[in-house]
Amino acid sequence: MDDYIEEFLFTKSKLTQIHYTSDLKYFRKWLKENNIPEDVTRIRFLDVQRYLKTVVVSPSRRRKIITLKSFFHYLHLNDYITKDILKCLKVPPATKCRVERKMTEEEVYGILKKARGKVKLLVQCLFFLGLRVSEALSLKKKDVIYGPRLSFSVMGKGQKRREVLAGRMVSKKIWHQIQHLSDDQYLFGHRKSHYSRWWAQRHLKRLNPKVSPHWLRHAFCSLSIQKGCDV
């Protein structure tokens, strides 16, 4: 199946490749655990149905369905299989899969208390600055302007930069962790590359299984509004 997947992903964007590779990895793992050969001509619609019953209802389940539908459609389109076995498989509406990302202040500070090193720094950037995980991971030391309140030059969507100010207390904590870095070094990584979003996801799950990086961004917004911040 490796060759088919490599060909299928060739024209996809980098982020789509990461997501689809992960989704197909879980499907292949299930096939192996159930003694089903990784032969695309022998996989049945019933096999996919059985697999999806083991996937927890969440936004990622919807994406896993989309990934499999897209993969088998590609196989049929290129005559690798005689029938698109997932043509009738319905993709649930996004609204039915959405999980409300609510965190209490106690939950956030519980995570902060357990976090160490770079993971603690990540939690601080996501929660106290309200950054997207991709924005936090791409930060370099030179993007941080020192002062009583640190100023972060953040590269956001559409390659647009914006300035984000940190509070005085969190500024001291963040600066203490990054002051030794060289200007071209990533806050989360090395001089030439930064850690992946999967690194962030994995380490946060260890602190709280229900939390993803984006939950912390949502917590920043909702808790700020609750405390009277202007929208």
Pull the structure tokens for residue 131: 């950054």
Distance CA(195)–CA(19), nearest Å, equals 16
Pairing status of strand 161-165 against strand 144-145: unpaired
- pLDDT tens figures, 174-210: 999 999 999 999 999 877 889 988 899 888 888 888 7
- pLDDT tens figures, 44-53: 999 999 999 9
Q: Is the pLDDT of residue 116 over 80?
A: yes
- pLDDT tens figures, 133-149: 889 999 999 999 999 99
Specify the range with the lowest mean pLDDT, choosing from 2-11, 67-76, 113-122, 210-219: 210-219
2-97, CATH topology level: DNA polymerase; domain 1 (1.10.150)
Strand order in the sheet with 144-145: 144-145, 151-155, 161-165
Name the segment(s) of the chain with CATH classification 1.10.150.130.
2-97
Q: What is the predicted pLDDT for the residue at 230?
A: 63
- pLDDT tens figures, 57-85: 777 888 999 999 999 999 999 999 999 99
Pull the structure tokens for residue 167: 């509070």
Name the segment(s) of the chain with CATH classification 1.10.443.10.
105-226
Structural contact between residues 73 and 86, judged by C-beta atoms closer than 8 angstroms: yes
Mean pLDDT of the chain: 87
Structural contact between residues 85 and 43, judged by C-beta atoms closer than 8 angstroms: yes
Q: What is the predicted pLDDT for the residue at 117?
A: 92
Residues in Cβ contact with 225 at an 8 Å cutoff, skipping those fewer than 6 apart = 231
Structural contact between residues 156 and 138, judged by C-beta atoms closer than 8 angstroms: no
Q: Which CATH superfamily is domain 105-226 in?
A: Intergrase catalytic core (1.10.443.10)
Name residue 155's beta-bridge partners.
161
Q: Is the pLDDT of residue 97 over 50?
A: no
